[in-house]
Each structure stands twice: as structure tokens, then as C-alpha cells.
Amino acid sequence: MAAETAAADPAYLLGPEDVLKVAVWKDEHLTQDTVVRPDGMITFPLIGDVAAAGRTAEDVRNEIAKRLGKYLPNPNVTVTVLKVLSYRIYVLGRVNKPGEFLVGHHTDVLQALSMAGGLTPYASENDIKIMRRSGGDQQVFTFRYGDMQKERDLKQNILLQRGDVVMVP
């Protein structure tokens, strides 16, 4: 459900494995479903590769329409996100259901822990780490579940990003 919400959000940034429907009005030969490749590109007839990862569906639509304009007069293009498959996070350690989770882009730490079935009785609830890779560097954030239960330091319940790892020792 969270992935469906992400797909409906016009600010959602596309990523590898996301599935798009690109349609050109009155030209069924140019209407197709396409998957964002690992290199972040999609391929479209007549114009070749188009960068998609890290852009909104509207940005991709604008580029396709502009490039198709060399071949068609005033092309009416739509780009729809059919499936969000790129927004994955990982919850590991002392949780009831550790693993990889396909989520929407507005998922916070508490929601991720809930998806993982909550903490086990042996979890170190005030030493949870969120690990994030950003531009080759790794950032580590500490999350204190006990403080959240007592409604202290609510700012630590950050929104997770693609590829984040929540580690519960």
C-alpha cells in the first residue's frame, strides 16, 4: 500500500526497477510499459535512452515530449508510475521479521520497525542504528525507541530513504 501511495505522489523520484507507462495520445505504437533500468535510464522508440532515476514522472514526460517533438507535431505524452519497486529498506537484527521491505517514500523508523513485527524482548531498544549511504559516504543515526515511547525526542523518528538499513542490536 505504501508503494502505491508513492506512485500517486507527483513529487516521487523514480528509481531503478520502477515500472512506468509512457503513452502518446493517438499513437498506440508509441504507448508502452517500461522498467527503469539499473543505470537509471528507460528506452523509448524514436528517441532512445531517457534518464529517469532521480526525476519525477512529470520531468520524464516533459523530456520525452520535447524530444518527440522532432518527429511528431505537438506530442501529447503522459507518464504514469505503475509500480514502485525501487524503494526498499532493510530492517535487521532483533526484530520479529527481519528482512527487506518495499515501502513508500514517506516511511519513518517506527513504521519500519512495525513492518518488521516489532522488537524482540532481547533488543537493545535505545541503541538502534539507521545506516544510510549518500554519495559514497555512510551516515549513521541513532534511534532510541524507549525515548519515543515516552514521547521524548520525537525528531529522531526520521523518514527513511531508499536503501536505508535499520539495525536493531
Q: What does the pLDDT look like over 152-167, one tens digit per residue? A: 778 899 999 999 999 9
- Based on the fold, state whether residues 162 and 113 are members of the same structural domain: yes
Residue 139 belongs to a domain with what CATH number? Answer: 3.10.560.10
- Based on the fold, state whether residues 63 and 18 are members of the same structural domain: yes
- Based on the fold, state whether residues 6 and 75 are members of the same structural domain: yes
Among residues 67, 83, 99, which one ends one of the domains? 83
Residue 68 belongs to a domain with what CATH number? Answer: 3.30.1950.10
Number of structural domains the chain divides into: 2
Q: Which residues 6+ apart lie within 8 Å of 28 measured at CB?
A: none
Q: What percent of the chain has pLDDT over 90?
A: 80
Q: pTM above 0.85?
A: no
Length of the chain: 169
- Based on the fold, state whether residues 152 and 100 are members of the same structural domain: yes
Joined grid coordinates for residue 162? 531508499
Among residues 35, 58, 83, which one ends one of the domains? 83
Start-to-end CA span in the chain (Å)? 28
Q: What is the pLDDT of residues 103-133, one digit of tens each?
A: 877 899 999 999 999 999 999 999 999 999 9
Which domain covers residue 123, as residue numbers?
A: 88-168
Q: What is the pLDDT of residues 22-36, one digit of tens each?
A: 999 999 999 999 999
From 122, 115, 121, select the one nearest 166 (Cα to Cα): 115
- Based on the fold, state whether residues 50 and 14 are members of the same structural domain: yes
Among residues 83, 107, 129, which one ends one of the domains? 83
